């Protein structure tokens, strides 16, 4: 008879055979980010991080870290309770007001992560709104998928960024259903965005609400930095904007921003908001400093995007990426899990840390590297990455440099 341990080991062996087993690189000190001390397997040493979502490098800035250190003198290290029971601080109000302002919405609500913000909000809306049906992009993030699943209501999946398919599907839904179109402002694994003005028009034509996850875009795009909807000029037409404090905003936590009534409704019904310890002031103070910086430094953010553009020119000329200049994310398709892992492993031995992106994050056969430049990377860092990646992909039997350049 098979024991539980045998069963567990067998399941893990399947992941290993598929090249999908996750082993973590442990960063020991990142004060000099992107240069860090790191250990992984046999490797122990210095490496440059090329896969962090701390896009603007604010998590290492003395401004953000200083803001966090200052509040530790006056507040506890943990919040010590849920928002309802002893866990609310003035920092929650302050950051919610900043997020409302950044999104130009009347109100915002904090969650303990971007994942929880999606999961709790979508589950709540789907459970409580009358005859709710979600229309969800097929490439939406797992937190959206799980939120919709937890809602247990109707759902229709439309083709990725395909507004014709969305229109075809929504027109068959009952007129009196509560329809919510859910998409991402920037799909981080593909580096593309939907035409949100078209989506808004469809929502208007069929009386639907719109929900946009700006997790990978917040802090970078739009005059206030709220994301792609703002950059595309339709932010005011989006009913619910969701985002994270954990990437460009240099801290941890998630949020939704919407009308006062909608936020009050979610605050009062979302289990993932109600029944969990709230974010501590130290994280909120860091996020607050980062939001403030983002809202007041559109020029610096613009310079960052110019830096990305030049970097992507270099990657493209080296035959490493098929597309350039679209977003701050640089995607190197390897299209094989074992080769992706192998190249990542060899890169680390050469002081370059990029994490292979494998199934189920991307489809099988579409494995890739997602390279993230920050303002803290220098031209020397870039040259090092490009030289090493070019040398290794040239030796990789499945990587085709010419195909990248032609694409
Ligand atoms: C599109 C998207 N939404 C939500 C999340 C979850 O955000 P967080 O990391 O703050 O939990 C992620 C995480 O990477 C994401 O990619």
Distance from Cα 402 to the centre of ligand 1, integer Å:
33
In this prediction, residues 58-85 reach a mean pLDDT of 96
Task: Point out the catalytic residue in the list 105, 247, 309, 406.
Answer: 247
**Three-class SS of the chain:** CCCHHHHHHHHHHHHHHCCCCCCCCEEEECCCCCEEEEEECCEEEEEEECCCCCCCCHHHCHHHHHHHHHHHHHCCCCCCCECCCCCCCHHHHHHHHHHHHHHCCCEEEEECCHHHHHHHHHHHHHHHCCCEEEEEECCCCHHHHHHHHHHCCEEEEECCCCHHHHHHHHCCCCCCCEEEEEEECCECCCCECCCHHHHHHHHHHHCEEEEEECCCCCCCCCCCCCCHHHHCCCHHHCCEEEEECCCCCCCCCEEEEECHHHHHHHHHHCHHHHCCECCCHHHHHHHHHHHHHHHHCHHHHHHHHHHHHHHHHHHHHCCCCCCCCCCCEEEEECCCHHHHHHHHHHHHHCCEECCEECCCCCCCCCCEEEEECCCCCCHHHHHHHHHHHHHHHHHCCCCCHHHHHHC
Q: pLDDT tens across 173-212, in order?
A: 999 999 999 999 999 999 999 999 999 999 999 999 999 9
pLDDT at 296 > cutoff 80: yes
CATH 3.90.1150.10 in the chain: give the residue spans: 298-375+385-398
Which atom of ligand 1 lies closest to the CA of 253? 10
In this prediction, residues 62-69 reach a mean pLDDT of 97
What is the value of pTM for the model shown?
0.96
Instruction: Say what the pLDDT of residue 120 is.
Output: 98
Q: Would you place residue 20 in the very low, low, confident or very high pLDDT band (cuts 50, 70, 90)? A: confident
Distance from Cα 103 to the centre of ligand 1, integer Å:
18
CATH 3.40.640.10 in the chain: give the residue spans: 62-296
Which atom of ligand 1 lies closest to the CA of 143? 4
Distance from Cα 14 to the centre of ligand 1, integer Å:
27
Report the top-level CATH class of 62-296: alpha beta
Known catalytic residue: 247?
yes
Q: pLDDT tens across 345-367, in order?
A: 999 999 999 999 988 889 999 99
Distance from Cα 352 to the centre of ligand 1, integer Å:
24
pLDDT at 271 > cutoff 70: yes
* The listed CATH number (3.40.109.10, 3.90.550.10, 3.90.1150.10, 3.40.50.300) that belongs to domain 298-375+385-398: 3.90.1150.10
Output the ligand 1 site: residues, CB below 6 A.
113-115, 118, 141, 143, 184, 188, 213, 215-216, 244, 246, 254
DSSP-derived pairing of the beta strands 43-49 and 352-353: parallel
């Amino acid at each position: 008879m098979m024991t539980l341990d045998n069963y567990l080991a067998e399941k893990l062996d399947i992941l290993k055979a598929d090249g999908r087993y996750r082993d973590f690189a442990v960063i020991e000190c990142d004060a000099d980010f992107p240069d860090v001390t790191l250990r992984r397997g046999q490797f122990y040493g210095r490496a440059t991080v090329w896969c962090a979502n701390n896009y603007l490098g604010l998590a290492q800035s003395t401004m953000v870290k200083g803001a966090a250190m200052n509040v530790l003198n006056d507040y506890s290290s943990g919040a010590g309770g849920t928002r309802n029971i002893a866990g609310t601080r003035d920092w929650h109000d302050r950051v919610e007001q900043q997020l409302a302002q950044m999104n130009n919405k009347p109100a915002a609500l904090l969650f303990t992560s971007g994942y929880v913000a999606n999961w709790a909000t979508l589950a709540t809306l789907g459970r409580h709104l009358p005859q709710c049906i979600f229309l969800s992009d097929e490439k939406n993030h797992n937190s959206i998928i799980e939120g919709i699943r937890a809602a247990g209501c109707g759902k229709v999946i439309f083709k990725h960024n395909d507004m014709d398919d969305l229109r075809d599907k929504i027109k068959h839904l009952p007129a009196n259903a509560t329809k919510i179109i859910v998409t991402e402002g920037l799909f981080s694994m593909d580096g593309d965005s939907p035409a949100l003005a078209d989506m808004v028009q469809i929502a208007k034509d069929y009386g639907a609400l719109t929900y946009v996850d700006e997790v990978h875009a917040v802090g970078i795009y739009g005059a206030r930095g709220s994301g792609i909807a703002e950059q595309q000029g339709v932010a005011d037409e989006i009913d619910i904007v969701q985002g994270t404090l954990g990437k460009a905003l240099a801290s941890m936590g998630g949020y939704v921003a919407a009308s006062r009534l909608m936020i009050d409704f979610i605050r009062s019904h979302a289990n993932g908001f109600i029944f969990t310890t709230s974010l501590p002031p130290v994280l909120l103070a860091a996020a607050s400093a980062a939001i403030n910086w983002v809202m007041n430094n559109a020029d610096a953010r613009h310079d960052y995007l110019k830096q990305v553009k030049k970097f992507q020119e270099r990657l493209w000329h080296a035959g490493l990426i098929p597309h350039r200049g679209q977003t701050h994310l640089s995607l190197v398709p390897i299209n094989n899990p074992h080769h992706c892992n192998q190249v990542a492993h060899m890169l680390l031995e050469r002081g370059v840390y990029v994490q292979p992106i494998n199934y189920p994050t991307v489809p099988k056969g579409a494995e890739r590297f997602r390279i993230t430049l920050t303002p803290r990377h220098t031209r020397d860092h870039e040259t090092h990455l490009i030289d090493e990646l070019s040398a290794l992909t040239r030796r990789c039997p499945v990587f085709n440099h010419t195909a990248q350049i032609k694409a």
